[in-house]
């Protein structure tokens, strides 16, 4: 989600193998074009570029195993709506993975506007129908937080 020019999409495409598929979503057509060019150069054919909107990622309902957002969630203009749409597209045991620059760490050389604290993330994601299932705290600059659908929380339409 928010694939940009495809750094992570290309890596994921190799990891899922030929039988898997990566849906690379962005709201900028130009980014999808750059990604397609890069995929062509390295002969990767299992990436489908998807032009989303500010409120709709255009993903298939109940069809996605993993949604990776690297440096993207904080950019959303309509985070709640996006969280609801992404929730609908996840398979029952599917995961939403947030990677965000650590606001808590002043040594991380990124503008405050583009950083998030764990507290902020936990205030926003779980109330929208997700539960935290795993964290990875060993990257030098970023939080990595894994969420799954929380059926105890009814995410409203
Ligand atoms: C900082 S870039 C990160 C790109 C990529 N994830 C990476 O780490 O290389 C943020 C990307 O999110 C995209 N974006 C912002 N809002 C979006 C939305 N609602 N749906 C999909 N993509 C969005 C932007 O167009 C941009 O390409």
Q: What is the pLDDT of residues 99-145, one digit of tens each?
A: 999 999 999 999 999 999 999 999 999 999 999 999 999 999 999 99
Which residues, including other chains, have CB under 8 Å from residue 23's CB and lie 6 or more apart?
Answer: 48, 50, 59, 64
Going along the chain from its start, the domains and CATH numbers come out as 1-52 (no CATH), 55-157 (3.40.50.150)
Longest dimension (CA), the chain: 45
To 5 degrees, how large is the angle CA 132–CA 137–CA 142?
95
Instruction: Say which residue the tokens 């990776």 belong to.
Output: 68
Q: How far is the CA of 44 from the centre of ligand 1 (A)?
A: 21
Q: How far is the CA of 69 from the centre of ligand 1 (A)?
A: 8
What global pTM score does this model have? 0.96
CA-nearest residue for atom 24, ligand 1, is 2
């Amino acid at each position: 989600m928010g694939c940009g020019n495809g750094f992570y999409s290309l890596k994921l495409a190799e990891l899922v193998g030929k039988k898997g598929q990566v849906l690379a979503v962005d709201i900028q057509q130009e980014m999808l074009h750059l990604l397609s060019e890069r995929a062509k150069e390295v002969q990767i054919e299992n990436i489908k570029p998807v032009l989303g909107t500010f409120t709709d990622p255009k993903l298939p309902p109940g069809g996605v195993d993993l949604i990776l957002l690297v440096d993207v969630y904080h950019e959303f203009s309509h985070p709640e709506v996006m969280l609801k749409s992404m929730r609908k597209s996840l398979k029952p045991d599917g995961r939403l993975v947030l990677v965000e620059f650590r606001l808590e760490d002043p040594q991380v050389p990124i503008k405050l506007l583009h950083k998030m604290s764990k507290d902020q993330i936990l205030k926003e994601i779980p109330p929208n129908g997700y539960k935290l299932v795993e964290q990875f705290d060993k990257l030098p600059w970023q939080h990595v937080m894994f969420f799954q659908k929380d059926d105890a929380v009814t995410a409203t339409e």
